[in-house]
Amino acid sequence: MRIDLERALEEVAARGRAQARPVPTDGLLRRVHRRRATRTVTSSVAGVGAVGLLAVGGIGLLSPAPVAPPATQAPVAPSPEPSASEEPVASTEVLPGWEPGAAPCGVRFELEPVDSPGLELLGGVTVGALAEEDGLYRVGVGEELLHPAVTAYPETPGEPGGALASLHTYLVDEAGTIALWDPPTEELGSEATNGSGAFNIAGLRDAVDCRTGQPLLGTYRAFSVASPGTGLPDQDEPGIEIVELEPVTFGADAGPADPHRTVSALPRCGDDASSALEAVGDPDFRAELDVGLLVDPVSVAGVHLPVTLRRTDTLDGVPLTGYAPQSVRAILVDDEGRVRTTMEPAYRSAEPLHTAPGDAVQTSLYQWFTCLGGPEAAGLAPQPGEVMDLYVYDQVRATAVYGTRVTATVLGGPYPVTLTDW
């Protein structure tokens, strides 16, 4: 599934302007332990500076500072297997005139995933290029640029989160060495070429190895590190959150899309819910929530709960492979049959997905109950005291055993919920 990047960024920015207030927590699950990869990768993350404070979901974040030096490489656990049949190899020669970056570029990444009790990092690295028609960044039209799109949220929507001094994303090669991270670059602020006055999103990076200047090739493990301090974070430092994201592959064909399978667009706030639910039909994954954790009432801010995705016998029983979702999304439906929520951007994790009918995948549901959009969404933001039906509703990108790309559907519910104040 290709995410509408510009719309997703607008929604994140709108949420960031909202003021988070404490929410009653009796009976709520404050910590949801996502299944994290337990592989250990090595490196010494040093010199993590930061400038510019940004408030996102009640959490203070600082944007990254410049960086990047080469260092010796040692073998570590291999990256998760990509969907491509052949793995391209990046050149290790330094381009003439290229000056390798200062640390942490070229050093080894030694941090393991850590689940903070107050933070939730969601996102991933997108790859694309500037479109010829307007000069704006488009995902999937090339591999010249990348964008580390990771956001820090409270562990549960609406709850307060810890203050951060730094949030950085790193690409790590198969030897465990940092090949790229996300300080600001000259790509910031470029304007559209069609006279529209639009500007590119902040944080675009040239997709080149910071050690050599060569284009990134092959598969890189991706990590995001959020820390309350600006220096080298300690593995056990309180408040730190380290997440392994979906690996990023350059120079490989992901395979053709299944020409016999179409998936409807995700519903927007204000849409008719029955049309959206009918479009799913028999889902590829049934979402199962522990109703004992879905307490009544539920915060009007949103929800974060464990969820099980169980494969059904669709797709003629063909096994699916890929990467499990970091979290799945949901919609609220009122008694008039209208969708009352805007769906969050969705990203995949580093955990391999291998399913046949009946197999289960453990992940989480993370959804803010916001309502953003056009005129049809006006006045539809969920309010305290309303009773609605919650449906787990999502799509999961995967690869079928015969090599075609598939967008699998996810559905669960309805789960009646009564909304309470933050």
**What ranges do the domains of the chain cover?**
31-254, 273-420
Parallel/antiparallel/unpaired status of strands 59-64 and 348-355: unpaired
CA 283/CA 311 separation, integer angstroms: 9
Q: Is the peptide bond before 414 cis (omega within 30 degrees of 0)?
A: yes
Q: Tokens 């690409």 map to which residue?
A: 171
Q: Provide the CATH topology of domain 273-420.
A: Immunoglobulin-like (2.60.40)
Parallel/antiparallel/unpaired status of strands 405-420 and 285-289: parallel
What DSSP character marks residue 149? Answer: E
Residues in the chain: 422
CA 70/CA 57 separation, integer angstroms: 36
Cα-based torsion angle of the residue sequence 204, 1, 369, 53 in order, rounded to the nearest 10 degrees? -10
The pLDDT score that the predictor gives to residue 189 is: 64
The beta strands (E) that lie in 135-273 are given as: 137-139, 145-154, 166-172, 178-181, 205-206, 218-227, 241-250
Helix (H) or strand (E) holding 355: strand 348-355
Q: Specify the 3-state DSSP secondary structure of 278.
A: helix
Give the pTM.
0.77
Parallel/antiparallel/unpaired status of strands 405-420 and 298-299: parallel
The pLDDT score that the predictor gives to residue 293 is: 76
- Are 249 and 84 spatial neighbours (Cβ–Cβ below 8 Å)? yes
The pLDDT score that the predictor gives to residue 118 is: 86
* Numbers of helices and strands, H then E, in the chain: 2, 19
Q: Which residues of 205-238 are buried (b: 16+ CB within 10 A; e: fewer)?
A: bbbbbbbbbbbbbbbbbbbbbbbbebeebeeeee
CA 279/CA 245 separation, integer angstroms: 30
CA 340/CA 355 separation, integer angstroms: 32
CA 376/CA 380 separation, integer angstroms: 8
CB count within 10 Å of CB 138 equals: 18
The pLDDT score that the predictor gives to residue 56 is: 31
At 276, give phi and psi (nearest 5°).
-65, -45
- Are 20 and 58 spatial neighbours (Cβ–Cβ below 8 Å)? yes
- Are 365 and 327 spatial neighbours (Cβ–Cβ below 8 Å)? yes
The pLDDT score that the predictor gives to residue 246 is: 97
Helix (H) or strand (E) holding 274: helix 273-280
Question: If we measure between CA atoms, which residue out of 305, 280, 278 comes closest to residue 291?
Answer: 305
Q: What is the pLDDT along the chain (422 residues), one digit of tens a residue?
A: 333 444 443 454 444 434 333 333 233 233 333 333 333 343 333 333 332 222 333 333 333 333 333 333 333 333 344 444 466 778 889 999 999 988 889 999 999 999 988 889 999 999 999 999 998 999 988 999 999 999 999 999 988 876 677 899 999 999 999 999 987 555 556 888 888 888 888 888 999 999 999 999 999 999 999 988 766 677 777 778 999 999 999 988 767 888 878 788 899 999 999 999 999 989 999 999 987 777 778 999 999 999 999 999 998 889 999 999 999 999 999 999 999 999 988 999 999 999 999 999 999 999 999 998 778 788 899 999 999 999 999 999 999 988 899 999 999 999 999 999 87
